[in-house]
Amino acid sequence: MIQTNNTLLIYQKYLDLIYYTNDLVQKYPKSEKFALVTEIKQSLYAGVRTIIFAQKEFNKQNRLKYLNELDVYLKLQKLYIRLSYRYKYISKQNYETWSKKITDICNMLGAWIKTCLAR
């Protein structure tokens, strides 16, 4: 995985996703603050934790376990975005931007998994 100053590029992209998501969910209706918004934030923060654990893990099998866990959190994010768009909590432009950010991270994750399997 590409590193810049000891920080994974996927980590930086994921932080950008967190910032973007936090800005968006502030506009959700009050009725969703303790439901969908909570789920979105919990899976986001769990995802960044797994990136950190994967980066620090030296055992290939354990690292793959963390990377697969991250994949699950990203799939959950996709589901939450679809729900948000369907219930009109976000605009089409927000939906597209948010989805692109997640897709970019998914692509980077796929490459990281591939390099782990190749070793």
Distance of alpha carbon 111 from alpha carbon 118, whole angstroms:
10
What would the two tokens of residue 77 be? 């994010």
Distance of alpha carbon 58 from alpha carbon 54, whole angstroms:
8
Percent of the chain at pLDDT > 70 equals 93
Distance of alpha carbon 85 from alpha carbon 80, whole angstroms:
9
Is a pLDDT exceeding 50 seen at residue 5? no
Q: Which residue has the tokens 């992209």?
A: 13
Q: Which of 27-31, 68-72, 114-118 has the highest mean pLDDT?
A: 68-72
- Reported as a single tens digit per residue, the pLDDT across 23-46 is 999 999 999 989 999 999 999 999
Residue (of 115, 81, 83, 87) closest to 101 by Cα position: 81
Domains in the chain, ordered, with CATH? 3-22+41-118 (1.20.1440.60)
Which residues does residue 3 pair with via DSSP β-bridges, in sequence order? 8
Residue (of 16, 13, 6, 25) closest to 84 by Cα position: 25
